[in-house]
Amino acid sequence: MKFRRLRLTGAAVSALAVAWTGAATSASATPTTPTAPSAPPVPALAWSDCQGGFECANAQVPLDYREPQGRTLTLAVIRKKATDPSKRKGTLFLQPGGPGNSGVDFVRNNYDDLPTALREDFDVFGYDVRGVGRSSQVVCWDDPTYTRAVTAAKGVPGPDAYEPAVRQAADFDQACQDNAGDLLPYVGTQYVARDIDLLRQALGEKQLTYYGRSFGSYIGTVYAAMFPKRVRALALDGAYDPEHYTNRPYAYDRPQYLALDGAMGRFLDWCKANPTTCGFGDGDPRGAFEKLKADLDANPVPTANGGQANGYTLVYRLMFNINEGKVIWPSFGEALRKAQLRDNTSFLLRPPSPASFDFLNPNVVVECVDKKYPSDPALLKREVTTNARLAPLLGPAMAYGPPTYDHQHATACVQWKGEHTSRYAGTFRAKGSAPILVIGNTGDPDTPYQDAVALSRELDNGRLLTFEAEGHTAFNRSVCATDRITDYLVNLKVPSRGARCTDETQPPSSEPTVAPPGTTLKELREGVNERVDRIGSLR
């Protein structure tokens, strides 16, 4: 096989096998009644101890659901049983963001910070989705290739940056076909939702209880759309507009560019209004930021591991760390000031590493399978150059950089030669489902608030909870939102219409000795480490 670590079992499926539509014909002239495809077998989970009170197992699921009895793919799964068996209500699926983050790590890293009621009432469950982590990780560019690409990228790309960006994206696409081509058609979200339904059955659950953040909210949306009657409770935090995401991706990308730049702009405005606490900019933080990007491009800073950090490094780190919200703003000021001084201990001068690349490879691939961009190259150029122009703080570096994250995938996805076998195109109404809770932050830099509003309206039985705050997602960053999400998951109590939470943590006025709600001291001082997906901490 061409893709790494893909564990497949079963004989090759005959070319005469029954098709997905169930259409089958007899060898004789006698008409036959079309038959439905046989259901895929429910995985048998053989649990074993994997330290810390967790149990781990492997689940065999179909590689291609059009051939449910054919080759299989192995998914890594993890759980921790309910701490109070007398209260146990079932299994809570936790789905991280991405695409590209490990669900196994998400459960292991966040379990202790979950509200007590969730740990008492549910077995907490997670898994690595197909193409991610321990479930046949997709690798297009290897680590040295990705390192060269991000090292050569610029924080302030020149006027001729568009064509090289398109060529680089084509090189990435070809590497995907060369290194993982046999897996690529099958990593889309329709198949992920089908995997979840098999795992639900394997766990003995009649209905699904689920918390999904960021891209995990889109996975939950697709599950509800495909299996509405099997929904017990779905909390979708940092929600996607599903119609824009999959069918009108340019309309999805533009708001994300604007949301990210808007969040960066609000931070710089805070710096101007709070120069002592921020410590960056000397009265003109926007001008200082633009100069810093250009200076780092012209003279990269050597890093401790022998690499180098430039203006692109700065933008890349800001893009992810800004998701932490206002609590990290004073640390941004200090890290930017260190960058001005060419101090490579600044967490904003930490170049992307192999841990980042493990996330970025499937992040691009899954979105290129899920999304259907128009193939018009002239439209691509207009959209990309307009995004860069409308989001001047962080947009140009992303628009013209190598394939990395979310809103800058157009150059790769327009040229994508792979099949879209496993994408889901709608409808997203989830007609007949139980109430579904949608959560959105008004200042979210990653999944814009209007996406949560759109999803709550798209769903036949959606209910919106608004968190008036900067940062990405609300669970365990707001006591108000966390209590309402927990009450919904445990007791199926839906917040009232128009419900809003206003308990945003404000920027510390000095370096704190106790972590503010929703973060850790380590994050405040060192930034977010790579793409570890954390739900925050209120404990």
Span 434-488, pLDDT tens digits: 999 999 999 999 999 999 999 999 999 999 999 999 999 999 999 999 999 999 9
Q: CA 518, CA 370: separation in Å to the nearest integer?
A: 31
- Per the confidence metrics, is the pTM higher than 0.75? yes
Does residue 197 fall inside a structural domain?
Answer: yes
Does residue 52 fall inside a structural domain?
Answer: no
Residue identified by tokens 């979708």 is: 236
Does residue 312 fall inside a structural domain?
Answer: yes
Half-sphere exposure of 5 (CA within 13 A, CB side): 13
Structural domain count, the chain: 1
Q: How many percent of the chain have pLDDT more than 90?
A: 84
Does residue 80 fall inside a structural domain?
Answer: no
Give pLDDT, residue 23. Answer: 33
Residue in 175, 476, 199, 516 with CA at minimum distance from that of residue 329: 516
Give pLDDT, residue 14. Answer: 31
Give pLDDT, residue 528. Answer: 59
**For position 460, which CATH number holds?**
3.40.50.1820
Strands 55-62 and 72-80: antiparallel
Give pLDDT, residue 525. Answer: 60
Q: CA 398, CA 405: separation in Å to the nearest integer?
A: 8
- Residue bearing the bigger pLDDT, 22 or 435: 435
Give residue 214's domain range: 86-507
Q: CA 320, CA 529: separation in Å to the nearest integer?
A: 10
pLDDT at 210 over 60: yes
pLDDT band at residue 514 under the 50/70/90 scheme: low
Residue in 269, 325, 354, 293 with CA at minimum distance from that of residue 446: 325
Strands 231-237 and 208-213: parallel
Partners of residue 76 on adjacent β-strands: 58
pLDDT at 519 over 50: yes
Does residue 338 fall inside a structural domain?
Answer: yes
- Residue bearing the bigger pLDDT, 23 or 174: 174
Does residue 512 fall inside a structural domain?
Answer: no
Does residue 200 fall inside a structural domain?
Answer: yes
pLDDT at 32 over 50: no
Name the DSSP letter for residue 149: H
Average pLDDT over residues 186-204: 98
Which amino acid, residue 516? P
Give pLDDT, residue 3. Answer: 36
Does residue 121 fall inside a structural domain?
Answer: yes
pLDDT band at residue 507 under the 50/70/90 scheme: confident
- Residue bearing the bigger pLDDT, 119 or 22: 119
Q: Positive or negative CA dihedral for 527, 531, 532, 534?
A: positive
CB 479 within 8 A of CB 505: no
Lowest mean pLDDT among 1-5, 223-227, 316-320, 528-532: 1-5
Q: CA 184, CA 167: separation in Å to the nearest integer?
A: 21
CB 284 within 8 A of CB 344: no
Q: How far apart are the first and last CA of the chain?
A: 46
Residue in 278, 402, 270, 395 with CA at minimum distance from that of residue 333: 278
